[in-house]
Structure 1
């Protein structure tokens, strides 16, 4: 589970301009009933309405097979540093397969993963076209965070004023603030946010087509401005929290890790 960064946004301006934002960016999706819950309509602040994710990258994950494929098609420059054919010769499952040379390793990977060459070529083509291997890489670069906005909550909706809250994973969506400034220059967006781990907070305005939202140190005042209530303190809580890295895009990846050296992941 990520650290959730909760944001509260108050939008003021001409009501027609506010409606234009709501109609475009607050998306309603119908969720069918399941064994555990009835059908319902879910609203989200959908970042793709501002910066669309290419269809070709949706649902594409960056796993070990893709990394091996990149190396086999001569695009090791796109693979993560610890993915080299030379390093793999020392991996236990490679040794267990009786593989001792680079040629044997190439042949073994192609035999056990018949689509590996095609996967590598497709990954390289996506990177050349979009600058990303997967949805994750693209999201971090284009949205500044792992996923689109989630856990949308409408706070109030009045003439000339709209207030809502939403969460992001690990970091604040800096590119989205910039895009809001570009797309809705007649509106005033007052933004506050707080990382649930108290690593950083968010504050600032988007007005007159300019973005003034920034990450700052977490404070009790910004906690209360975001959540609508003061923080709860416990006797054993260390109140001197480290301010952290101020909400840079998260480096937690769904991609493979060094653990794959000990067991093959398809």
Structure 2
């Protein structure tokens, strides 16, 4: 499980209803959530599984199109050598690619044995990943979400207040997404506050207008300001006390 980040997006009270109308949805349990897809939409093609199976498929497909690898794939499947090498160089720049995806004949045999009658399905996953990279410069949703949204998943645990939207994200605040949201509503001043669920860590703020960051900053871990922001966002101040000896807060 990830560490959750609590985010508080503050806007004018007159804009909060518009934010809810255009950027919030309801899930299958009728819970409201801030839908990142209303700001930057994740391409449907990238919503493929990320697993050992899909990575085995990538290994198979790369072997199939590799013009220097004769043990798997037919002649008609092979790419031109320069095109193939260019693809590999570009894939190495992504988060989801490792050198062990380039395999030998023994590994090919092991994968074929592992999946048996489902080998075509597995290889198709690899083909889709390469096609996604050609179309979107991303093989799957994970890399895309981290780059475009700033976090790997959509929002969670959304709450709407008088002039704010509170929601959680995995590992990091969705800073690229908030910048894009600000561009969509150029006349609205926005403030983003955030804090890790590990109280006193990974805290910060951003003031933004029309996609331009007017002011931003982070607080030193375990500093007074870091704790105070975390107390506000996580509503946990009663569980801590100020220790004059070390000059900051500690759990009670």
Work out whether the TM-score is over 0.5. Answer: yes
Matched, 1:65 2:56: yes
| Counterpart for residue 188 of structure 2 | 187
Distance 2:229 2:241 in 1: 19
| Counterpart for residue 205 of structure 2 | 203
In the alignment, structure 1 segments of 5+ residues that lack a partner are 32-40, 86-101, 242-266
Matched, 1:48 2:30: no
SS for the counterpart of 1:56 is helix
Cα contact 2:58–2:125 (8 A) shared by 1? no
| Counterpart for residue 229 of structure 2 | 222
Cα contact 1:69–1:120 (8 A) shared by 2? yes
Distance 1:204 1:18 in 2: 18
| Counterpart for residue 106 of structure 1 | 108
Cα contact 1:203–1:214 (8 A) shared by 2? yes
SS for the counterpart of 1:146 is coil
Matched, 1:83 2:126: no
Could you list the per-position Cα deviations for residues 77-119 of structure 1 after superposition, in whole angstroms to 9, with x for gaps in the alignment? 233134342xxxxxxxxxxxxxxxx334434434535224333
Q: 1:131 to 1:214 in 2, by over 3 A?
A: farther
Matched, 1:5 2:5: yes
Aligned residue among 153, 170, 184 for 1:147: 153
Cα contact 2:63–2:102 (8 A) shared by 1? no
Cα contact 1:189–1:206 (8 A) shared by 2? yes
TM-score by length of 1: 0.67
Could you list the per-position Cα deviations for residues 45-76 of structure 1 after superposition, in whole angstroms to 9, with x for gaps in the alignment? 11111000001112432533233224323368
Distance 2:138 2:238 in 1: 39
Q: Which has the higher helix share?
A: 2
Could you list the per-position Cα deviations for residues 136-156 of structure 1 after superposition, in whole angstroms to 9, with x for gaps in the alignment? 1211111111101111112x2
Q: 1:214 to 1:22 in 2, by over 3 A?
A: farther
Distance 1:84 1:208 in 2: 45
